[in-house]
Structure 1
Amino acid sequence: MVDARIHCRFDEHRGASLGVDNLNNRKYFLYHPFPERAFYLGLKYTI
């Protein structure tokens, strides 16, 4: 299983991140079935 994430900081107050969980879309089971590929986007503003 491979996860990837990139974070970009625009200035000292703003940032954004983009990521992919389970990049190779592998199906696996530990104690329960895990979800397949998932994408996420994050935006952050600090004061």
Structure 2
Amino acid sequence: VIHLLNRMQLHGRLSESSDGVHHIHLSVPPTRSDILHACDVME
């Protein structure tokens, strides 16, 4: 999933919390004006 996000110019990284849950953190560049909310990434 992270590889596909990077191909869409959404720089993602995987992190793990203290309770063992994995999270994906995204950095959306200003050139991606079509992404305003988290649901825009899922679409």
Question: Does TM, scored on the shorter chain, surpass 0.5?
Answer: no
Task: Pick the structure with greater CA Rg.
Answer: 1
Normalized against structure 1, the TM-score is what?
0.32
Normalized against structure 2, the TM-score is what?
0.33
Q: Which has the higher helix share?
A: 2
